[in-house]
Amino acid sequence: LSPGAKMGCFTFIKVMMILFNLAIFLGGGTLLGVGIWVSLDGESFLDVFGALSSSVLQVVNVSYFLIVIGAILLVIGFLGCCGAQKESKCLLMMFFSVVLIIFIAEVAAAVVALVYTGLAETLLTAVVTPLLKEKYGMDDNFSRIWNVTMSEVHCCGLNNYTDFTDSPWYKNEGTYPAPCLVRGSLPFACPHLCGCLLQGCFDQILKEIKTNAGVVGGVAAGIAALEIAAMAVSMYLYCQLDQK
């Protein structure tokens, strides 16, 4: 390619890099704002997005998840946008490094999820179960998110109803949460118990993920492709700046 064509290609890719990372930055800011909204007023969030309550995200505290993801996207968008606009090799390398770390973490998480489902369940149990015993019945937002999730997914606790034993709710009410107690034709795990108690949410959500494995895999592959493209573009700009 002639020097003019190379410069034109460099400028085009630079502009695309700026626009792409500007979109990431704005998206990160939006997620961060929603995360803060959920942490401050979770009930209003559920009133608006109640139909999404069967999402895997609500197995954990969705506000913290959104805040963390939003902050990461803000950092990535800032590094990529400023690195390309200012033609800064340092910022471009930082952008490449952050995206590479995230990509490796996602691959590792996928391997754990696919190959070591039992380990994934153990890790979730170690984190979520203590939260249920500590906060359910005391933290209104946390309790409401779990109530909606259990009602939508038709499940009880992360593993089973015993996750709520010794929780503030159980100590005050002397029984398990209402979404755990079912009547009629819904499936239940312990028919010998009064009211019948549903199975844990982990197994239910795992079934939903397996049922929609194609969609989940497609989304994961799309995200991975975007990350690889972002790393390739940032490294291209970095190398072109080296030649300058």
The domain limits of the chain are: 3-103+213-243, 118-205
Structure tokens at 38: 């959920």
Which token pair is 120? Answer: 């994934």
Cα gap 64→45, rounded to integer Å: 14
What string of pLDDT tens digits covers the 244 residues of the chain?
556 677 778 888 888 888 888 988 898 888 888 878 777 766 665 555 554 444 444 444 567 777 888 899 899 999 999 988 888 889 989 999 999 998 998 888 777 767 766 666 677 777 778 888 888 988 887 788 788 878 877 788 888 888 888 899 988 888 888 888 765 444 444 544 444 567 788 877 777 767 766 776 787 788 888 888 888 988 888 888 877 6
Write out the two tokens for 239: 């190398």
Alpha carbon distance 31, 227 (integer Å): 19
Residue 194's identity, in one-letter code, is: C
Sign of the torsion formed by the C-alpha atoms of 67, 73, 74 and 76: positive
- DSSP letter at 160 equals S
| pTM of the predicted protein model | 0.61
Token pair, residue 68, equals: 């963390």
Distance, in Å, from the CA atom of 191 to the CA atom of 127, rounded to the nearest integer, reads 28
pLDDT of residue 183: 56
What is d(CA 157, CA 176) in angstroms, rounded to the nearest whole number? Answer: 10
